[in-house]
Structure 1
Amino acid sequence: MPKRAATSTRREESLSRERIIEATIELLDATGEAGLTFRALSEHLATGPGAIYWHIANKNELLAAACDTVIARTVDSTPITTPEATIRAHALAIYDLIDEHPWVNSAIMTDSEGNSPLVHILERIGQQIRLLRVPKAQQWSAISTLVGYILGISKQNAVNRQFGITHNLDRSEFLDRIATKWSQLDAKTYPFTHSIADRIRTHDDRDDFIAGLNLILRGINAPAR
């Protein structure tokens, strides 16, 4: 009996936590959060659930670990130059990350043992806000506005993309239909919406994201009034 227990322990230890997390990321990318179960992960790793439970307690911890890993890689690989350029680089890297891994949307706020993947983003961007010499009393407002914008727009972009895939929509055709409807609105009742109808046809989501980010950065850098 002791010999069998020792063999079981060696088998469980041979499957590293890092390999489990990598397999979790692969499974999430392939099936989304709904497809992540310990059974599916066990099959993906060609092992038993017990070998996974040896390292990770539950699905919440799996999600947090997978999200934490991809976000840490992203922010750690972002080049650091001037504060503004670094914030832009981080923001675009996160935007592209969520576009590539839509499951990060729901996993980013997952907390496991007090550690949230969000901390990586807060810390990296927060350091640059300090370097911009934002007064301490305004730093919370600056970071919450920036991160709220980055995550909110990135999430909406990923949701829109998934919606298009699910419903087999052609983006250009879809936007053209919207633009046509808006252009037909009464110009007196909807003057602004009517005026931007043509812009809907040609706008680029990533460019719009950068433009909005620049507006926020200009506000952060503006002298206090």
Structure 2
Amino acid sequence: MAKKARSIQRREASLSRESIVEATIEILDSSGERGLTFRALSERLVTGPGAIYGHIEHKGDLLTAACDAIIARTTNALPGGATPDEAIRALALGMFDAIDAHPWLGSALIRAPGQLPMVRIFERIGQPVRALGVAPNAQWAVVSALLSYIIGVSVQNAANAHLAQEMGAERDSLLADVSAMWSTLDAHAYPFTRSVAAQLPVHDDRADFLAGIDLILRGIGTMPRAPARISPPKKRRTVAAR
């Protein structure tokens, strides 16, 4: 009995916030948010709930910490030396892929609007927007528009994939069914929807997402630029007569 107690104490002593977060991500990826409980986490880490509470306060803290770990990895993996446009595209695609791989990520981000995970994304959008020369009084609106598009479309894409999985349908067959339904709509009431029905089964979600980013970037290019900073002329030194 004493040997078992010592073994548990060693496991709890080696427990870290990082190991808890990694286990949390594994549970969320495999079982979703509903499967994340302190009991499930304790079983995965082979420890008691009390040891976990020493590092994490509550389930909301767990979700935010797991979310921040994924966002930090995504932003840290972005290439350096990119142009502002390239930096925004790289971040957008990184977030799209991250949310596609971790569907729970979108919900965790939305629940932590002013916390570090969202701030990381906000900053990584804001810096290139500023570098593009957007006027200071327009930077908030531009960054907010990009943030809303990146998170919103990425979350919707992940939700669509999850819905198809719940229905037990493959993406291609599901889109083919929707396409067939669109093609039978009333031609006078829905002329545009009918005209693009054939494109639905063959469209590329990731490519469409990036096309939207490019549309926003082109719009930014038409905005008034921030005034260039003019350095004051240097004063000439005068040599005193001897």
TM-score normalised by the chain length of structure 2 = 0.85
* Partner in structure 1 of residue 15 of structure 2: 15
Q: What secondary structure does 2:186 align onto? A: coil
Offset of 1:109 from its aligned partner?
Answer: 3.2
Q: Which amino acid aligns with 1:187?
A: A
> Deviations 1:6-51 (Å, cap 9, x if unpaired)?
x998764421111111111111111111111111000000000011
Identity of aligned residues (%): 53
Of stretches 187-196 and 151-160 in structure 1, the one that deviates more from structure 2 is 187-196
Offset of 1:186 from its aligned partner?
Answer: 2.5
Offset of 1:223 from its aligned partner?
Answer: 3.5
CA distance in 1, matches of 2:18, 2:111: 18
* Partner in structure 2 of residue 103 of structure 1: 104
CA distance in 2, matches of 1:182, 1:150: 27
Change (3 A) 1:111 1:177: closer
CA distance in 2, matches of 1:111, 1:212: 25
Indicate if the aligned counterparts of 1:12 and 1:50 stay in contact, CA closer than 8 A: no
Matches within 5 A, 1:140-151: 140-151=140-151
Matches within 5 A, 1:16-55: 16-55=16-55
Change (3 A) 1:11 1:173: closer
Q: How many residues align?
A: 219
CA distance in 1, matches of 2:106, 2:115: 17
Matches within 5 A, 1:113-192: 115-192=115-192
Q: What secondary structure does 1:216 align onto? A: helix
* Partner in structure 1 of residue 70 of structure 2: 70
Q: What secondary structure does 1:130 align onto? A: helix
Indicate if the aligned counterparts of 1:109 and 1:117 stay in contact, CA closer than 8 A: no
CA distance in 1, matches of 2:214, 2:111: 29
Structure 2 unaligned runs (5+)?
1-6, 226-242
CA distance in 2, matches of 1:181, 1:8: 59
TM-score normalised by the chain length of structure 1 = 0.91
Offset of 1:173 from its aligned partner?
Answer: 1.7
Indicate if the aligned counterparts of 2:134 and 2:224 stay in contact, CA closer than 8 A: no
Q: Which amino acid aligns with 2:89?
A: R
* Partner in structure 2 of residue 4 of structure 1: none
Indicate if the aligned counterparts of 2:74 and 2:98 stay in contact, CA closer than 8 A: yes
CA distance in 2, matches of 1:36, 1:144: 31
Indicate if the aligned counterparts of 1:12 and 1:54 stay in contact, CA closer than 8 A: no
Change (3 A) 1:202 1:45: same
Structure 1 unaligned runs (5+)?
1-6
CA distance in 2, matches of 1:177, 1:109: 31
Indicate if the aligned counterparts of 1:74 and 1:93 stay in contact, CA closer than 8 A: yes
> Deviations 1:73-126 (Å, cap 9, x if unpaired)?
1011111300001100000010000000001011113449x7331111001111
Change (3 A) 1:153 1:48: same
